[in-house]
């Protein structure tokens, strides 16, 4: 039965990893009901036939029919598909859009998408109709660098090494996502030219207008399924104590981002919408570690966080999740 007090959400591309995570989160959300889960290739199937872990949670089926009356749409289709969708559909004037692809993260368009990193653009997100959800690597790296940019301290080249789990490659099969290749293996891909570099630079410039330093980014494929572990270092004129105070102050009003004094590891954040950071100083080098779950804070969890802000819900609604720990 339709609960009139709840908003109606639709998911485009609901059979993939990010679509599945959106479904899991919204099924437990106190203020949302799922209006439809769209998938052309799985239309007519029960959702739990594809996302088998939600068996018993819903008897909904995938549909190939787009319902334009939804209050919010999550676009979880592949890159390029969101732009096509926006051009082809006649959307209701009240419908909010949260796009999880890269189609609108740095492109100007007639729809005025807001870059959806709450730690950077919370007030803009609260007023927005269209949100471009950040990339997973971009989220993790930006959280490691935004406080420094806010203090105008990014005066030297930035060096980044970040390792992501296999789910970061999406659900489609390719040679580097097979278990037999990924297991007991580690590799680098797209060194110095990853597609998330542009949005990272754009976010840093929004805080430090004169930022013009190179960002040397080495992405790696890790031998695990979920999570991103990022290491960043740059020469910065700030003490360790002042750096920690800067980070604590910058994130003190953000409920999912935490600055830790001790060791951080992926199991502290996997299956949560949290980001954890550690800040240290070695000689002239400021060294920052940041960890997130690539499918949650790096994608679907952040999308729901953005939805909460857009509709005036408590920012943490539906996102108080337990980490795997062991």
Give dist(CA 50, CA 42) in Å, integer.
8
3-state secondary structure of 241: helix
Euclidean distance between CA atoms 35 and 7, whole angstroms: 9
Tokens 């437990």 appear where? 28
Phi, psi dihedral angles at 167 (to 5 degrees): -65, -15
Concerning whether 76 is annotated as a catalytic residue, the answer is no
Quote the tokens at residue 108.
Answer: 């100007």
Cβ atoms < 10 Å from Cβ of 105: 21
- Retrieve residue 255's tokens: 């409920």
User: Which residue's structure tokens are 């296999």?
Assistant: 166
Please name which of 101, 39, 90, 94 lies closest in space to residue 72, comparing C-alpha atoms: 94
Strands (E), 13-128: 32-38, 72-75, 96-99, 114-115
- What's the rounded Cα separation, in Å, for the pair 197 and 163? 15
What b/e string do you get for 241-252 counting C-beta neighbours within 10 Å, with b at 16 or more?
eebbebbeebbe
What the block records as the tokens of 176 is: 């580097």
Q: Which residues are catalytic?
A: 136
């Amino acid at each position: 039965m339709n609960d009139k007090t709840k908003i109606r959400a639709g998911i485009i591309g609901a059979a993939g990893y990010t679509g599945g995570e959106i479904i899991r989160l919204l099924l437990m959300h106190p203020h949302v009901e799922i209006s439809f889960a769209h998938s052309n290739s799985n239309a007519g199937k029960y959702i739990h036939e594809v996302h088998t872990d939600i068996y018993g949670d819903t008897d909904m089926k995938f549909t190939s029919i787009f319902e334009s009356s939804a209050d919010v749409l999550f676009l979880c289709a592949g890159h390029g598909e969101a732009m096509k969708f926006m051009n082809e559909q006649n959307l209701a004037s009240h419908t909010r859009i949260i796009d999880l692809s890269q189609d609108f993260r740095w492109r100007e368009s007639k729809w005025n998408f807001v870059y959806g990193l709450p730690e950077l653009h919370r007030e803009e997100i609260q007023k927005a109709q269209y949100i471009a959800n950040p990339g997973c690597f971009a989220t993790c790296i930006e959280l490691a660098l935004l406080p420094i940019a806010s203090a105008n301290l990014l005066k030297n080249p930035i060096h980044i090494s970040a390792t992501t789990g296999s789910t970061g490659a999406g659900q489609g099969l390719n040679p580097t996502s097979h278990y037999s290749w990924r297991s007991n293996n580690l590799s680098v891909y797209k060194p110095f030219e990853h597609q998330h570099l542009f949005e990272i630079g754009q976010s840093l410039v929004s805080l430090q207008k004169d930022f013009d330093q190179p960002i040397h980014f080495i992405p790696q494929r890790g031998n695990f399924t979920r999570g991103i572990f990022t290491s960043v270092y740059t020469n910065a004129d700030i003490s360790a104590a002042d750096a920690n105070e800067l980070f604590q102050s910058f994130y003190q009003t953000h409920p999912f981002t935490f600055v830790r004094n001790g060791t951080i590891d992926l199991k502290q954040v996997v299956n949560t919408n949290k980001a954890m950071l550690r800040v240290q100083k070695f000689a002239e080098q400021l060294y920052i570690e940041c960890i997130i779950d690539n499918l949650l804070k790096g994608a679907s969890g952040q999308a729901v966080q953005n939805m909460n802000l857009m509709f005036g819900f408590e920012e943490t609604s539906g996102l108080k999740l337990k980490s795997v720990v062991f």
